Chains A and B, each alone.
Chain A
Amino acid sequence: MSRGAECSYTVRFSPPGDTVACGEGETILAAIMRSGAKVMFGCRGGGCGTCKMRLISGRVDHGRCSAAVLPEAEKREGAFLSCQARPLSDLSVELTAANRYRKLIYWEGPR
């Protein structure tokens, strides 16, 4: 099945239970930030491991990550670096306190 450029997957984060749309080819970190939320991240290059998360279900393309911060054994247990990983299916992702997920406040127009 071919997928168009506008195709996206749904990524569910628990806690807090928020879902974001993540485009095919978009990193999970980029999708989070585009949604108006923020998480802790460092180098954004797959080198430092700060933005590591864990899959509850689904599949990702891990991208290029340092083996020092994301060894194969951790990948097998579901760990991924959100700055590099791109979804290959809908995902359910476990967040921890270390991820520091928070919604940012945005200006809204007149109601």
Chain B
Amino acid sequence: MPYRISRLGTVEIRSLDLDRDLDYYTNVLGLQLTAREGRTAYLKGWDERHAYSVMLTEADQAGMARMAFRTVDPEDLDYYENRLRKFSVKYDVIPEDYRRGRALRFTAPSGHIVELYNEMDYTGNLLPTVNPAPWPEGLKGIAPPRLDHTLVTAPDPPKAIQFFQEVLEFRVSEMLVNPEGVPIAAWLWQRPSPHDIAIVPGRAGGFHHAAFTVDSADALFRAADILAMHKARIDYGPGRHGITRGTTIYFFDPSGNRLETFGGYTAYQMDPDCRAIKWTTDQIGPAVFYYSQELNETFLSVYT
């Protein structure tokens, strides 16, 4: 089975105060502001080559408005349109969005608005394409190179997991199974990394976090320093997940949305024949927070 989704392309996060949060996203998290159009700001990590990966939209509540996956090829969009029809999934064709081409929009069984698209303006990263340096100077804040993944909540996780597996052809890298053997949470991938999206139990449409890549232990600890200097609310970390092996800091934006710096540098690379790793719910502590070996007060219950 070929892989047809190149990455989690964009997430739209709701902000209770766009001016305040934009200051945080650009100076503390350190994303690049690429445009601001009315109530939405468009941002990206310094190493992302397309026009944007994060939309920050002012609203009267926090949470995620939508997520969008980018297909590998333009034809993959047609392929998925056929699959949506085959599985009788209701969808809308969105002819265009800001600097983006045609998209398919549907609601997943988890209650989230999901889009698939291929075309987005290719604006390049912050480096030249001829004889580039490894990173650009003058970055502010944590300055993660890119958006990595999202974790969302679903009232019926097995159903939502099955949807992402069957209809969208994601594969499970790891799962958390209850004593009856039912997967109540799963980490799903297409890009050869531990996950592009993960699904855990919770409210329909719930947003647990969006994660940004950090690519070294130095970068992880520097990120923690920056968050603490700015008195940002750190939820957990620096630490390590049992699931995915990735290093982590969970923290919140000023509107209360959880974000993560995810250190995929410690994680593994998936191959097409990789088989799912299983974690049992009695080991949920080390599965989520490997070092403290127990959940904190907020992991299961706090999300937007």
Interface of A, secondary structure class, is: loop
Contact of A40 among B62, B257, B258, B297 (CB under 8 A): B297
C-alpha gap A46/B303 in the complex (Å): 11
Closest chain-A Cβ to B210's Cβ sits at a distance in Å of 14
Q: Does A66 contact B (CB under 8 A)?
A: yes
Q: State which of A46, A50, A67 has its C-beta within 8 Å of the C-beta of B301.
A: A50
Q: Which of B201-237 contact A (CB under 8 A)?
A: 233, 235
0/1 interface trace, chain A 26-52, chain B, CB 8 Å (1 if under): 000000000000001011111110100
For B63, the chain A residues whose CB sits under 8 A away are 47, 66, 68
Tier of interface size on chain A = 10 to 19
B60 and A66 contact, CB distance less than 8 A: yes
Q: A42-B298, A44-B256 are in contact. List 9 more A-B contacts (CB 8 A).
A: A43-B233, A45-B16, A45-B257, A46-B16, A47-B61, A47-B255, A50-B302, A66-B61, A66-B62
Q: Can you pick out 23 interface pairs between chain A and chain B where the beta carbons lie within 8 Å of each other?
A: A42-B252, A42-B298, A43-B233, A43-B235, A43-B256, A43-B302, A43-B304, A44-B252, A45-B16, A45-B253, A45-B257, A46-B255, A46-B256, A47-B16, A47-B252, A48-B62, A48-B302, A48-B303, A50-B301, A64-B255, A65-B16, A66-B304, A68-B62
- Residues of B whose CB lies within 8 Å of any CB of A are 16-17, 60-63, 233, 235, 252-258, 297-298, 301-304
